[in-house]
Chains A and B, each alone.
Chain A
Amino acid sequence: MKRREFLKNTVPAAAILPAVVDGYSVKAFDNNSPLLQALMNPTIDTDHVLVIVQLNGGNDGLNMVIPISTYSAYYNARSNVAIPQNRILPLTGYTQTGLHPAMTGLQALYNQNKLNIVQAVGYPSPNFSHFRATDIWMSGSSSDQVVNSGWAGRYLNTEYPNYPTGYPNTTMPDPLAIQIGSITSLAMQGPSMNMGMSITNPTSFYNLINNVLDPAPNNPMGYELTYVRTIASQTNQYAVRITGAANLVTQQSAYPTNNSLGDQLKIVARLVKGGLKTRIYMVSYGGFDTHSLQTDATDTTIGAHANLLKNVSDAIKAFVDDCQFLGIQDRVVGMTFSEFGRRIKSNSSVGTDHGAAAPMFLFGKQVIGGFTGTNPTIPASATVNDNIPMQYDFRSIYASLLEKWFCVPSSTIQTILFQNFQSLNVVNDASCRTTGVNDPNQSAGEQLITNYPNPFTESTSIKFKTRGGHTLVQVIDMLGRVIGTLTDKEYTPGTYSVTFDSGPLPTGVYYARLQNGPIQQVRAMLKVK
């Protein structure tokens, strides 16, 4: 859908504003308002949104997406937690695989062609530590690489290279990414700056859920604390935009109750519909570390994991339905991931231990429905060390979404993900196939550091703008190591150039980092053969 069409559908004409903008004066949103003008900016590029659903703890994919064609091997490996074959939810037109009985919502989405199930997603040499595996998924690194930025952060850094200098602005008045929760995760970390914003962030006024702020005590300490908090909330540069967007949406379709993932997704739908230009939303839902009592001891179709899966399924179904209700179904796709799956063989505590590859869900109307991949191979008599072998590298999913959903050119994807990954046909790429996508974000904000040529083979010239005073330009590799310092001295205000000679350094991504007083900005540079 084209941006302007979308706006016509979302933001009503001034005449009917009062009915929609609950409690807000018409004046605040008249045709001259920065909000409306920003929304009507005609040169905006894709209006696509990605919602990332993190399932913390390592989700047991084998009990979620169940191999019917190899059911006996499945059952033999984990008889104490295995779902009875007659309880597996069937999927229309696909008999070899079914879903956990609690996931009726996702079953319906599959049957509506709004769900793609990617089988056995992982990476070579899987890591079984929650922390390390989470960092690998968040950073988009290989298992033997330590990368201290996140894949989504690097994507946003290529899209909004000057952030945070000059942000927010009319082209991008909103947070680049929003995480529902208190803490912005590694996934949103760009090469230098965190590109995301948490909306239960303490500096945010807008505590929607999981409020960790303590009430201020009734004494002088509390009095001053309240003062500082008040200023903090007034100061948040995005506060007005977020409340404004949230308040534009007064009606949504039904969400399940007592379902924190549903609560979070409901907020996401509201903010998307309300007109935020935020690209990426991240929500999370924990408790998947099911070492023991994963299921009820007598009925494996109920219990802890079943409850989790039901909530995931209900929440996502409600969200997709709401997107349709709100008319944003062509703009939003989502994906689930967990840091790892669990072992094929169950343990004797009616649980499963840390494993490797697992299925991912991609959901939304623009997703290409169906299965990607086949049922995992399960040994006839699985041993405790057997893991599900990977069919797809998780970075192929990232790469495919970047390419087909965010229309990122393949050379840039290589900069973001450090290598080329397989492109999968999981999402409708029609909007990226139209020519002439004009991306104004590249020039939004003040660009202080650039390089040419990029990509480069041997050396590249780095141009930077300083406000004067001490100025530093260093080159950092993707692991965060300083490769070289190109300049480190006092300057008078102006634009200068330095040359980066890469010498024997391997091909790959390097970041030129500018530091000038309190300002920092990075530029991603790609060295190629």
Chain B
Amino acid sequence: MEKIHKPKKVFVQGPVSPQFIADAIAAHQSKTTIGAHAIFLGQIRADKKEEGTVTGIEYSAYEEMAEQAFHKIREEAFARFELTCMHIYHSLGLVPVGEISLFVFVSSPHRRAAFEASEFVVEAIKADVPIFGKELVEGGAHVWKENS
């Protein structure tokens, strides 16, 4: 049976808090067909650049196009893997080092689909979603981030 997955709001202002993640996990306790969750959390690294040490990343996005890209990734993940549900949250604005900027949460009856879907979704986000990151470094300079 084909399910319709409505576009969901992905962007959040600032970091994704640990409490938000805990609440998202708790919200799935009533979904008893799920046997496996896979969670990916992207955290801001204090990279050392020529310009100085990174203190945070300021994210911006071509929001309308990004929402469409997220929707396409969701549809594709549901088509490829046996998933019960999926949630993606990505920060906009400033996220200081050590804090979470990406939260991918996939749930499935079984672990293999959960592991594989989470990797697929994270890689697709990095490659296909028009999100831009300005790495702020100590002393006020900045460097534009580029996914490899």
Question: Do A and B belong to a common assembly?
Answer: no
Chain A residues within 8 Å of B, Cβ to Cβ: none
